[in-house]
């Protein structure tokens, strides 16, 4: 598994979409659906939200030390969103969409006309859409204040998924993906820990402002001095 694969899995809309394979009429599935509903409700009624994630990739189930460790951050204030994903920072506000790639020293800028897929990243899960087939959901009980569910899906590149919620069901605590070892002979165990999850974060004044990254001079978009070594790319919308 590559770093690109990991980034694609961890982006919050994709992380939560893995839960969309969990619905049926079994009691355990109903329980997990209720926990997802509680989490969604907390997200919807909270104007502010912040989560910090640590992603650890292990070469095999037997390894104690990860081969890859990455850190992620997600912030929400009203409709404004900020993601820090590996070496990228992404800002989505009412004015624009910005992607700052610190590795490539590049900044992508677009006016926010609603066309960017980044506008559609959601921290909610649509329970009504949880209709994909799976083999079994086990409720393992509550340990150290966390509810544990284990999902088994034979015909899936991730045949086993462990999901941990807070006891009240409002916060996701941990996801563990056990990948098919035949398809993924190495780096087949991924553990995502939500090290921080709060609905009352303390944001900096400019956390959701594009002025932290760009300025206008003679009606022309330019990068701020701190990003003078970066290349600016202006696009109709960011893919």
Lowest mean pLDDT among 125-129, 153-157, 235-239: 125-129
**Taking the domains of the chain in order of start, what are their residue ranges?**
3-234
Position 3 pLDDT exceeds 70: no
Q: Which CATH class is domain 3-234?
A: mainly beta
Q: Is 120 or 128 the better-scoring residue by pLDDT?
A: 120
Q: Is 46 or 87 the better-scoring residue by pLDDT?
A: 87
**Which pLDDT does position 104 carry in this prediction?**
94
* SS (HEC) of the chain: CCHHHHHHHHCHHHHHHHHHHCCCCCHHHHHHHHHHHHHHHHHHHCCEEEEEEEEEEECCCCCCCCCEEEEEEEEEECCEEEEEECCEEEEECCCEEEEEECCCCEEEEEECCCCCHHHHCCCCCCHHHCCCCCCEEEEEEEECCEEEEEEECCCCCCCEEEEEEECCCCCEEEEEEECCCCCCCCCCEEEEEEEEEECCCCCCCCCCCHHHCEEEECCEEEECHHHCCCEEEECCCCC
Lowest mean pLDDT among 56-65, 85-94, 106-115, 221-230: 106-115
């Amino acid at each position: 598994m590559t770093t690109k694969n990991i980034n694609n899995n961890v982006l919050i809309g994709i992380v939560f979409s893995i839960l969309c394979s969990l619905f049926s009429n079994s009691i355990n599935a109903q329980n997990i659906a209720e926990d997802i509903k509680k989490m969604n409700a907390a997200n919807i009624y909270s104007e502010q939200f912040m989560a910090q994630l640590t992603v650890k990739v292990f070469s095999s189930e037997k390894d104690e030390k990860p081969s890859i460790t990455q850190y992620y951050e997600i912030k929400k204030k009203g409709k404004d969103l900020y993601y820090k994903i590996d070496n990228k920072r992404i800002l989505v506000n009412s004015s624009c969409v910005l992607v700052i790639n610190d590795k490539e020293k590049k900044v992508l800028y677009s006016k926010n006309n609603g066309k960017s897929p980044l506008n559609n990243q959601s921290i909610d899960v649509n329970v009504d859409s949880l209709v994909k087939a799976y083999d079994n959901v086990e409720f393992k009980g509550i340990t150290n204040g966390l509810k544990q569910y284990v999902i088994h899906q034979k015909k899936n590149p991730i045949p086993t998924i462990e999901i941990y919620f807070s006891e009240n069901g409002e916060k996701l605590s941990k996801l563990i993906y056990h990948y098919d070892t035949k398809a993924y002979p190495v780096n087949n165990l991924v553990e995502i820990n939500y090290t921080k999850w709060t609905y009352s974060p303390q944001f900096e004044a400019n956390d959701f402002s594009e002025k932290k990254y760009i300025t206008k001079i003679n009606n022309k978009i330019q990068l701020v001095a701190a990003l003078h070594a970066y290349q600016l790319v202006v696009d109709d919308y960011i893919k």
